[in-house]
Chains A and B, each alone.
Chain A
Amino acid sequence: MNELTALPLFGVALTLAAFALAHALYRRTGSVWLNPVLVAILSIIAFLLVTGIPYRSYARGGDLITFLLGPAVVALAVPLYQRRLELWRRKAAILCGIAAGSLASIVSACGIAWLLGGSRDVIVSVAPKSVTAPIAIGIAERISAIPALTAPVVVMTGCLGALCGAEFCRLVGIRTPLAAGLAVGTAAHGIGTARMLEIDRLAGTAAGLAIGLNGLATTILLPLLMVLAGG
């Protein structure tokens, strides 16, 4: 059994099976709370905990799937190219929206953690929470936060944005696909983008654009704000 679970086959098979089942459940019920990504993640974690199979064994196969995220991010250039005229016409609104979102993310995340008595480590580690994981880890290292804490916070943020980002947009009166896509992409990076791509092509494209631009904005803004806040 141990030999089998140590093969990449195990992680790949478990991931695809869990996602297929979660997707079927989502289609059957139509409930946004049963987001397939979240259900798949939670059921795999539960499965590993119950069976006692180490995360490292699962990751041999999991890493093969994660590998495809690289070309998937590059592939976002295709819808960006197809929508380039439409996006270029609204460049000022797009850049201002993302810059405002990046600032709001840092201030609100740090502010809430501080108000609730979080330690300095927690306050700085949640600061890049809305940035795509590889950039967020890089930022965390540079501002001497704890990357091991930033990583799960980034993933939880993404899942939350995917889970109810689109519904929250409707609730607060964000109606256009461009604004909703940028909002969820800026708040919940790639995981939010994946959900927006399923809902609306323009929204998904705008979200993909926001991943890169918010990463850039936060990389620049966060060190500046930390100097202002006295480190």
Chain B
Amino acid sequence: MIRGFAVLLSFQLAGELSVRAAAWPIPGNVLGMALLLVALMLGLVRLEWVTEAAELVLSHMALLFVPVGVGVMLYFDLLAREWLPIVAATVLSTFVVIAVTGHVTQALAGAKPAAEDAGE
């Protein structure tokens, strides 16, 4: 578990350092995810080092967003000023994106759940 967290935080740090050095417009933790994926594929990091820690944070990911959501209370005034276009655009566009992404993916990848992948 400790080793897993050490690996996850080290890759996050490597990601943060890289995006700062290269001034890339992506967050360091997203780059850290990509770097860890590459390290796993190259065999530099063994899967069993990180599975336990990854399982712990991923299975509680929803909880981790609660304080971020509470932060919305800071913006009540700003949101109230033009609430109709803001709320309508947010809500309707979210459904549009789900429908478009899902249907394009399904049309190209096939609409049947891929049974042959089950044993992968």
Contacts and interface: CB of A to CB of B under 8 A. Distances in A.
Contacts of A188: 94, 98
Interface string B41-54: 10000010011011
B72 A155 contact: yes
B73 A49 contact: yes
B89 interface: yes
Contact of B93 (A70, A129, A149): A129
A135 B106 CA distance: 27
Given A77-B36, A138-B25, A97 B104 contact: yes
Contacts of A133: 68
Interface residues of A, number: 121
A98 interface: yes
Interface string B79-98: 10010111111111111111
A179 B47 CA distance: 26
Contact of A74 (B33, B51, B67, B112): B33
Chain B interface size, under 10 / 10 to 19 / 20 to 34 / 35 or more: 35 or more
A224 interface: no
B103 interface: yes
A119 B64 contact: no
Contact of A178 (B54, B89, B93, B105): B105
A159 B69 contact: yes
Interface in A149-204: 149, 151-153, 155-162, 165, 168-169, 172-180, 182-184, 186-188, 190-191, 193-195, 197-198, 204
B62 A194 contact: yes
14 contacts: A48-B70, A71-B53, A74-B33, A75-B53, A101-B97, A101-B100, A110-B89, A112-B92, A116-B89, A168-B95, A179-B111, A197-B58, A211-B30, A215-B26
Interface of B: 5, 8-9, 11-12, 15, 25-30, 32-34, 36-37, 40-41, 47, 50-51, 53-55, 57-59, 61-75, 78-79, 82, 84-114, 117, 120
Given A113-B85, A172-B103, A215-B26, 7 more contacts: A15-B63, A70-B28, A151-B72, A152-B74, A182-B101, A186-B98, A187-B98
Q: Which 10 A-B pairs have the closest CB atoms?
A: A62-B67, A118-B85, A101-B101, A97-B105, A174-B102, A183-B102, A93-B108, A93-B109, A41-B69, A134-B27
